[in-house]
Amino acid sequence: MKHLCFEGISTLSEHNWIMDRILVRPSGPLSGDVTIKGAKNSALKLMAACTLTEGTFRLNNVPDITDVRLMSELLGSLGMTVERISENTLEIVNPGNLTPEAPYELVEKMRASIVVLGPLLATYGKAKVALPGGDDFGPRPIDMHLRGLETLGAKFHSQHGYIEGNCEGLTGARIVLEFPSVGATENVMMAAVRAKGETTIENAAREPEIADLATFLNRMGGNVLGAGTSTIVIEGVDELVAVEHSVIPDRIEAATYLAATGIAGGEVNLIGARPDHMDMLCQKVGEMGMRISADPNGLWVMCNKDLQSVDLATLPYPGIATDYKPFLVSMLTVASGVGIVTENLFSGRFRYVDELIRMGADIRTEGHHAVIRGVNRLSGAPVRAHDIRAGAALVIAALKADGETEIRDPEHIDRGYEGLVENLSSLGADIQRLS
């Protein structure tokens, strides 16, 4: 690994031994404040965008999580230097003349790694990136990434588990995505910012993380318009510069503590949360009986009565995010009535349901649908975290489970959360992490 510096960033090997299970006992109402960290799904893409030009970047409000450490290692393998210079700030040095190859042993651990493909192609005219891994909840092909980049002039072939691309310069074009894929939108945006001429992305993803990336690219000297809408227009530029930027708050983390408050009851302030990034979620949990209000510091949430069941379906932003769904399913397991949940985005994302059933939940799944009949209380049991959000959903479900719940494989949770156990404990939850 070349030019890799992790002063203040713990390596993965140092973390493997620390803890291997989380224990939760039933908790009373939660109370207090939680500060929401920077968005994982934005920070990783901003780090990838630092491959676009040489110089020293500073990213503020970056969570200290496993996926950030993995992306740091990936950038190091390309020839960059990553250093955590304070609790929340990364300094990323791009010396230029990177080696545009992302190795399998890093990419297979984190799906977001594929977004280095576009900027490396745009900058170096070639890139070799291993096929991505990450959470195990069904196939998520990268065909749209490749078709979008091909429209700009890249050519690809696949062999030995790697995607290899090359181009003799990229040229702006009109790209229509068959689905508003976040990753494909980001890959094309980062490539198009260095392409010749104008690129239009139709049916683009509209997530807040897309707008955050566009803001970062524009600060670097790019010309990106329309991010956050379904049509993004990028005028390619010849030169970019390294800049400083603060990552937006993590709406998925905020949703986790919101759902925990709904399950356990209580009153919590989510400091730094962006209610405008969570409109549909706030509306849905409001229908379930929670009280929610924006304030100057973030989001105030309260639940002082039994939850009521609702029906919901996952949709691209601004709809209910698929990452929210495990938390909402956990809420529905202890709500009055019957709720029907439809997963429209990822076919395998009900795999954690069996773990909730082990805890006494009454859930029946069929294809893309789950029917959840609420029970008064769950029952503590040993369960396993299969991915980041499913693991967090089991933790918050355990807040209303009699006895003791043991969540195994919490390293999946570490990929997306900094201090989940500590934060819940500070709110009054009976929770601890043990090796």
Nearest by Cα to 148 from 205, 78, 222, 100: 205
CA distances from 161 to 129, 182, 371 (A): 9, 23, 38
Measured in degrees and rounded to the nearest 5, phi and psi for residue 411 equal -60, -25
Q: HEC states along 308-336? A: ECCCEEECCCCCECCCCHHHHHHHHHCCE
Can you tell me the distance from the alpha carbon of 407 to that of 396, in angstroms, rounded to the nearest whole number? 11
The secondary element (H helix, E strand) that includes residue 397 is: helix 388-397
CB 200 within 8 A of CB 171: no
Q: What is the largest CA-CA distance in the chain?
A: 63
Tokens standing for residue 331: 């809420």
20 is catalytic: no
Angle at 271 between CA 289 and CA 212, to 5 degrees: 100
Can you tell me the distance from the alpha carbon of 263 to that of 27, in angstroms, rounded to the nearest whole number? 10
Three-state SS for 383? strand
Q: Where are the beta strands (DSSP E) in 120-161?
A: 126-130, 155-159
Residue of 67, 135, 323, 414 marked active site: 135
DSSP state of 64: -
Percentages (nearest 5) of helix, strand, coil residues in the chain:
35, 30, 40
CB 128 within 8 A of CB 57: no
Nearest by Cα to 47 from 230, 242, 205, 271: 242
Nearest by Cα to 367 from 389, 393, 387, 347: 347
The secondary element (H helix, E strand) that includes residue 282 is: helix 279-287
Q: Which residues are catalytic?
A: 135
